[in-house]
Structure formats: structure tokens, C-alpha cells
Amino acid sequence: MNMEEIARLIETNMERAYSIACKLTGNSGEAADLVQNAFMKVLKNRGNYDAKLGFERWLYVIIRNLHVDALRRRRPQISGDPQDFLENTADPAPTPEKRAEQTDLRARIGAELKLLEPNLRAAIALVDMEGYSYEEAAEILKWPLGTVCVRLHRARKILRGKLTGLWNGGEK
């Protein structure tokens, strides 16, 4: 793969890579560092690129691996501001009332996502937030398919329990 192809692929995938990194880290600064490190690794290892996997999946495997490495180095602290999550998931042009509701909801969801253990958050980020299939998430995360299913189930159950009060008109 030549440098022009790499530059084009990096530019094409920059926003989505940053979005996933934000969801994994919960912090815009860490996400930017993670994406920068991932693209440096892409450049360094471009000779190892496997076209069968596809660039996007290859990039997200790299992002995920760098994130896991960072988590291992600083175990088990989860840091960041839920506001970073909100800034990276805003809907375009909602009404003022809807915007207020969404801001409150996003703040609560963002806070609850940050409390999930990193493996549960990674599964939710890829499948529920980024739209990957279970199989694609398993490949990216290098987990067995059953592990993805179990972690998604656990994460959804935890979030459902914490957020049920919002849909029933009260706090839980």
C-alpha cells in the first residue's frame, strides 16, 4: 500500500476512528491520542495490512488493542468527562425542548456508560453505538462470538436497570 492510498484511507476513517476512540476511552483527549497512535501504527505496519480484513476493521483492531494496552498500564481507573461523550454524539438540529431532554438523557447515559467495566463498554460501543454486527465486533475485539453476546447482554442489563427510571418518569 503506497502513501497516497494510506493518506486517503486515514482521512476517510478519521472521524469514525475518533468517535469509537471517544466511546472506548470516555475522554476526548485520550481519544485523540489513541487515534494518533493508531494512525502511526498503521503507517509503521502498512506492510502487514491484509486487504481481506479491510482497512476499517484493521484500524479498529489497532485502536482496540492500543486501548486495551493503555488500560492494562493504568488498571483499573476509568477517567474522563461524560460531557466528552455528549459532544461526540449530538443529534443534528433538534427542537429546544427536545435538545434539553436529549442533553439530560445523554448526560445520564454517558455517566452510566463510564461506570461500565471497559470490556462491557467496548462491546456496547461497537455493536449498539457504531452499528457493527456481533460477528464484526468479535473479530475486531478478538473475542469469541459468545463472549461478545454475553458482554452485550450484561452491559444492556446493567444500563437498563440504571436508566429505567428515566422512561418511567422518575429517577432510579
Is the Cβ–Cβ distance between 145 and 139 less than 8 Å? no
CA–CA gap between residue 78 and residue 81 (Å, rounded) = 10
171 pLDDT higher than 60: no
Decide if pLDDT at 128 tops 80: yes
Please give the backbone phi and psi of residue 23, each rounded to the nearest 5 degrees, phi first.
Answer: -70, -35
> Within 13 Å and on the Cβ side, how many CA atoms surround 153?
6
Distance of CA 61 to the CA centre of its chain: 12
Give pLDDT tens digits for 6-41.
Answer: 888 888 999 999 998 988 888 888 889 999 999 999
Q: Do 22 and 31 form a contact (C-beta atoms < 8 A)?
A: yes
The per-residue pLDDT for range 129-156, each reduced to its tens digit, is 888 889 888 988 899 999 999 999 999 9
In order of their start, the domains of the chain are: 1-80 (1.10.1740.10), 116-172 (1.10.10.10)
